[in-house]
Amino acid sequence: MGITMREAYGRALASLGERDERVVVLDADVSKSTRSVVFLERFPERFFNVGIAEGNMMNIAGGLASCGKIPFVNTFSFLLTLRAGEQLRTGVAYPRLNVKVAGAYIGLSDSFDGATHQDVMDIAVTRAMPNMTVLSLSDHVMAARAVRAAAEFDGPVYLRLHRNETPDLSREEDPFTIGKAVLHRDGSDVTLIPTGIMVGKALEAADLLAKEGISAAVLEIHTIKPIDVEAIVKYADQTGALVTAEEHNILGGLGGAVAEVLGEHRPAVLERVGVADTFAESGAYDALLKKYGLTAEAIVAAARKALARRLTWRSRRRGAHEGRKRCI
Amino acid sequence: MSQKTDQELVRRLAERARRLRVSVLEMIYRAQSGHPGGSLSAAEILVTLYEHELRVDPKNPRWPDRDRFVLAKGHAAPALYVELAERGFFLKSELERFRQIDSILQGHPDMKKTPGVDMSTGSLGQGLSVGIGMALAARLDQKDYHVWALLGDGELDEGQVWEAAAYASFHKLTNITAIVDLNHVQLDGSTREVLAMDPVAEKWRAFGWRVIECDGHSVEELLGSYAAAKGEKSGPTVILARTVKGKGVSFMENNAAWHGAAPTEEQFQQAMVELKQSAAAEQTTKPGRDN
């Protein structure tokens, strides 16, 4: 741990502003929370605080982008993707404008503020939008890399940023390529597919599984869309049992995206760890993660379940196969 | 410009507006789909902008220094398309493919498909905000282009219009002008039945805008209003252009049923007759007015 993901994001924005005059930043009266204020301090003339008016902000960003600017739009993720979600759809995604949307305080990370400020829907909303690229980052190093990658990418990008300090997982020199999964650990029995803060927990889970003699691969998906189909199919072949883990509703998020890939390309057993289609509540962050099942232990339990299901699934398929042969 | 040229210009643009109405109805009749009411009310506004006011280059639609136009009331797309074709952004034959599969002319403006469209619009309430983004970009780049946004008066129901209005005046943006096509009719009925925003002028003034009111079917008044709006250097200006929804076709005028309905063959023929008669009437009355 060093700095929070949002602090790293703010600093990366400011250094990007240094290199590229086209970069402009918008915030809706929460710049001290999103840390876009770091950019404001360096480049006040390129920073626009629109007040508490998210819809207006999103369309202003579209107008700026249509004139060649690279706007980074900031506020809490639920406001960007729901309050201003239609403006994002019509005014940014549809005309494929070069706007970067940085969703702060994702998942349960604004824990004490409660369900109104938490967000377990942003992946589902943004990945259903045509033309959108959706990035979900796991630590401060990756957040900074993602800011640069998003700026270099021509088109709308959604960045999913965490509020709190997260364990260090990546190094400066690690490659960050939009659309490419990151293999943290190889394994042969089960594949853990985490995103965001669940990457650290999946690595813990892999250690716990190793103690039981289970070999778990950990494949991080930072680009939810376009998702790395090749890597997922490869690990479906290699292990036949997969577990997704995300700080998001299990519906429509990473779990949903991976299920789509498997269903279409390589049917395999899948368990999804995430928020079980419910609103959470106020409380200490760790307490929330525990209560809503976002822990290494929950991933271990899901992995065991996936392995058990794989056994019965394979024997059932074998039975069906033999049954067909008998009929012939 | 001499007095005589002025009068010639006014006469020419008024005749262009009449022809635009004919083209708009042809498009909607052919497609059997589209929004005649708000396209006809905006005829003079679009003609005066595209054929006199806007600095654009049809050969270079993405010219960075061009004036920007945002059709916030995107359902008036047919009127915009007629003007873009008139200026040569694309062939007039494209108008025949309005709203058809694989056409460059979508039901609502699409900047990726149609040369000359500066922003994709159609979802009400967003256009003024977009225009502000364009105006801020001009300020950053020290460019002198002007941004125009045409809103419907039903559109003023959308809260985001007032978020944008507050922002533009607070930041003293003078390179953007809003025009409201004040036709007093929205989809479900008259604005006074659905949601009256009266007094409209006072609302804009309270939001820090200078208000110019004019007859939105008078070419002369519109041209005068544009010049006055651009001359204002203390903050943004809104032109409240009083118009008649469905203007020029008797049975469409002030009738909410024609917000988004296509005419039958009989109705179309009757509309064509009325628009031709209005041309003949102009011919006979004009010389007298000129004296």
φ and ψ at A319, to 5 degrees? Answer: -60, -45
Tell me which chain B residue has its CA closest to the CA of residue A26. B133
- What is the interface size between A and B, counted as CB pairs within 8 Å? 104
Tell me which chain A residue has its CA closest to the CA of residue B120. A95
Query: How sure is the predictor about B76, in pLDDT bands with cuts at 50, 70 and 90?
Result: very high
Q: Which of B148, B161, B174, B165 is nearest to B48 (CA)?
A: B148
Please report residues of A whose CB lies closer than 8 A to that of B159: 55
pLDDT at A325: 60
pLDDT at B291 over 90: no
The phi-psi region of residue B211 (left if phi > 0; otherwise alpha if psi is between -120 and 50; otherwise beta) is beta
**CA angle in degrees (0–180, nearest 5) for B143-B65-A13:** 60
φ and ψ at A182, to 5 degrees? Answer: -115, 120
Separation CA A43–CA A23 (nearest Å): 10
Amino acid identity of residue B131, one-letter, is: G
Please report residues of B whose CB lies closer than 8 A to that of A86: 123
Please report residues of A whose CB lies closer than 8 A to that of B166: 51, 53
Render pLDDT for B259-290 as a digit per residue (tens, 0 to 9): 999 999 999 999 999 999 988 777 665 444 43
pLDDT at A321: 66
Largest CA distance in chain A: 77
DSSP reduced 3-state for A270: strand
Told to judge if A152 belongs to the known catalytic residues of this protein, a careful annotator would answer no
Region B87-112: mean pLDDT is 98
Render pLDDT for A274-298 as a digit per residue (tens, 0 to 9): 999 999 999 999 999 999 999 999 9
Contact between B136 and A48 using a beta-carbon 8 Å cutoff? yes
Tell me which chain A residue has its CA closest to the CA of residue B139. A45
Within an 8 Å CB–CB cutoff, is residue B282 touching chain A? no
Contact between A67 and B122 using a beta-carbon 8 Å cutoff? no
Cα distance from N-terminal residue to C-terminal residue, chain B: 18
Contact between A45 and B111 using a beta-carbon 8 Å cutoff? no
Mean pLDDT of chain B: 95
Separation CA A299–CA B222 (nearest Å): 67
- Do B130 and A90 contact (CB within 8 A), yes or no? no
Separation CA A152–CA A139 (nearest Å): 20
Binding-face residues of B in 64-83 toward A, CB within 8 A: 64, 68, 70
pLDDT at A318: 77
Percent residues over pLDDT 70 in chain A: 97
Tell me which chain B residue has its CA closest to the CA of residue A64. B133
Percent residues over pLDDT 70 in chain B: 95
Cβ-proximal residues to A207 (8 Å cutoff; 6+ apart), any chain: none
From A56, A63, A71, residue closest to B160, measured CB to CB: A56
Region B61-77: mean pLDDT is 98
Separation CA A138–CA A150 (nearest Å): 16
- Which member of A54, A220, A246, A271 is catalytic? A54
Cβ-proximal residues to B153 (8 Å cutoff; 6+ apart), any chain: B180, B181, B182, B183, B184, B186, B191, B197, B200
Contact between A91 and B126 using a beta-carbon 8 Å cutoff? yes
User: Considering just the CA atoms, what is the radius of gyration of chain B in Å?
Assistant: 18
pLDDT at A250: 97
The phi-psi region of residue B81 (left if phi > 0; otherwise alpha if psi is between -120 and 50; otherwise beta) is alpha
Domain annotation for chain A: domains and CATH numbers: 5-160 (3.40.50.970), 182-315 (3.40.50.920)
B68's enclosing H/E stretch is strand B68-71
pLDDT at B289: 40
Instruction: Give the best residue of A58, A60, A72, A92 to mutate against chain B (max B CB count within 10 A).
Output: A60
φ and ψ at B272, to 5 degrees? Answer: -65, -40
User: Considering just the CA atoms, what is the radius of gyration of chain A in Å?
Assistant: 20
Percent residues over pLDDT 90 in chain B: 92
pLDDT at B287: 43
pLDDT at A219: 98
Render pLDDT for B124-170 as a digit per residue (tens, 0 to 9): 999 999 999 999 999 999 999 999 999 999 999 999 999 999 999 99
From A56, A94, A95, residue closest to B129, measured CB to CB: A56
Contact between A51 and B166 using a beta-carbon 8 Å cutoff? yes
Tell me the mean pLDDT per 10 residues along chain A, length 328: 89 98 98 96 98 98 98 98 98 98 96 97 98 97 96 98 90 93 98 98 98 98 98 98 98 98 97 98 98 98 97 79 61
Q: Which of A263, A325, A259, A188 is nearest to A317 (CA)?
A: A325
Tell me the ipTM for this assembly.
Answer: 0.95
- Do A161 and A106 contact (CB within 8 A), yes or no? yes
Separation CA A62–CA A18 (nearest Å): 22
Mean pLDDT of chain A: 95
Separation CA B261–CA B121 (nearest Å): 20
Region B12-16: mean pLDDT is 97
Domain annotation for chain B: domains and CATH numbers: 3-290 (3.40.50.970)
Alpha carbon separation from B137 to A13, A20, A50 (Å, rounded)? 19, 15, 15
